[in-house]
Amino acid sequence: MKKILLGMLAISACFASYAQTTNFTGTNLGANFAFQASSVTVPLGTSSIDGIGQQNMGMTISASQGLEMSKTSVLLFGFDYSLSEAKVGEIRSTGTATLKAKNIWTLSVAPGFLLSDETLAYLKVGYEGAQTVASSTGSTELTKNITGTSLGFGIRTMINKTSYLQFEAKQTSYGAARFDGDTSDFTARATSASIGVGFKF
């Protein structure tokens, strides 16, 4: 991930002197198709866990505001919200509990660097949140809100004067949390990639 981010900075520096930021400032709204691989870690004790490499697909909506930093760079402030639930894992002891995440959101800051008038490369730092739900047959659902941080990169390229195509990848790490009544914490991580379209206003 670090090598990719450094490579993007080097490429953007080569082309920056020929570009203008007009296409990437202002308000933007978008929709993305996302693929995510997630894992959860729980101290085993007398239980076992199946939570490595759980794969999910879904849709997210996004909004961002672009501010010009210089003639060749933009700062994007963004908000993303997932319309889909994501299975995180299964915890097995006397029975099987399914662990999933929903209401997943991101607040982000992303410095962007122009590769051309129509293409922007950006680095993205995010503050993440989600509601985790543990459920099993015959038992009451347990819920817990979790938060964490993310780091990623993306490319945004204009299709015409008011719409763009966007690709993004990121890694997310959530802090330790514990369901009420449990005696051990769990942690979750996710790697995701998305492709989508957006509109500039």
Amino acid at 55: Q
Give pLDDT tens digits for 119-136.
Answer: 999 999 999 999 988 877
Residue with tokens 């004790």: 45
The predicted pLDDT at position 37 comes to: 85
The predicted pLDDT at position 10 comes to: 52
Nearest Cα to 110, choosing from 121, 102, 118? Answer: 121
What is the bridge-based pairing of β-strands 96-116 and 119-135?
antiparallel
The predicted pLDDT at position 18 comes to: 43
Contact 146, 179 (CB under 8 A): no
The predicted pLDDT at position 49 comes to: 54
Burial class (CB in 10 A: 0-12, 13-18, 19+), 152: buried
pTM of the predicted structure, to 2 decimals = 0.81
Domains of the chain with bracketed CATH: 2-200 (2.40.160.20)
The predicted pLDDT at position 2 comes to: 54
Residue with tokens 């991580």: 189
Give the single-character DSSP code of 177: B
- In the chain, which residues have pLDDT < 50? 12-19, 46, 48
